[in-house]
Amino acid sequence: MKTYVLDTSAIIYGFNPRLVEGVHYITPGVEAELSAGRTKSTMELSLASGSLKIRAPKPDFVTVVKARASSTGDLSVLSETDLEVVALALELDNDGREVVVVSDDYSLQNLCTLLSIEFKPMVTKGISQEFWWLLYCPACGATYEQKKGTTTCQICGHLLKRKVYSKKRINGTS
């Protein structure tokens, strides 16, 4: 039986845990994001029916996911909730479950691919290549490690940008 870890976008774009066979999880961060929106009732009904569960990932898995996101250059664009989703998926995968992350977030999909976690987009085509990103200053050319909050060049003060420095096809796609 498949285990689904749902990002906020999954519920927003119509994924209904009561209609899809399997075990379904959201993280506390996803719950908080959904509680503020119009999809709150879908979440509440799914929780009440037992078809959706809330589970926080263990801190060790969050640490692994953050380190991997930093190495690919995705850390600066992923939210804490995104990292939570991938960390829970990695934890459940580590427990031997057949895990699928449902999300339309390309950076989240990229991280899942690099961690060998299956993903399913809702309304987008999904990514077809793995990407590694470089954070750089377009004015002076300085490069920086991907860290949360790093937005300006320490040398000249310009806003930093991201660019792909390496990519690889996923499963023979182009």
Q: What 8-state DSSP symbol labels residue 65?
A: H
Task: Mention every residue, 6+ apart, whose C-beta is less than 8 A from residue 14.
Answer: 122
Q: Which two tokens stand for residue 36?
A: 């503020």
Do residues 51 and 86 both lie within one domain? yes
What does the pLDDT read at residue 149?
A: 66
Do residues 149 and 111 both lie within one domain? no
Please give the average pLDDT of every successive group of 10 residues along the chain, which has 174 residues.
95 90 96 83 90 97 93 84 97 97 91 93 74 80 74 87 74 44
Write out pLDDT tens, residues 13-38.
889 998 999 999 999 999 999 987 77
Task: Assess if residue 154 is contained within a domain.
Answer: yes
CA angle 89, 121, 69 (to 5 degrees): 45
Quote the distance between the C-alpha of residue 82 and its chain's center: 4
Strand-by-strand arrangement of the 143-144 sheet = 143-144, 129-136, 161-169
Number of domains in the chain: 2
Note down the domain range covering 13: 2-120
N- to C-terminal Cα distance for the chain? 30
55 with 88: CB under 8 angstroms?
yes
What does the pLDDT read at residue 52?
A: 96
Q: Which pTM value belongs to this model?
A: 0.77
- Residue in the block written with tokens 């096809």: 169
In three-state secondary structure terms, 110 is helix
What CATH number did the domain enclosing 108 receive?
A: 3.40.50.1010
In one-letter notation, the amino acid at residue 14 is: G
What does the pLDDT read at residue 86?
A: 98
Task: Mention every residue, 6+ apart, whose C-beta is less than 8 A from residue 138.
Answer: 158, 161
Task: Assess if residue 76 is contained within a domain.
Answer: yes
Do residues 142 and 114 both lie within one domain? no
At 166, phi and psi to the nearest 5? -160, 145
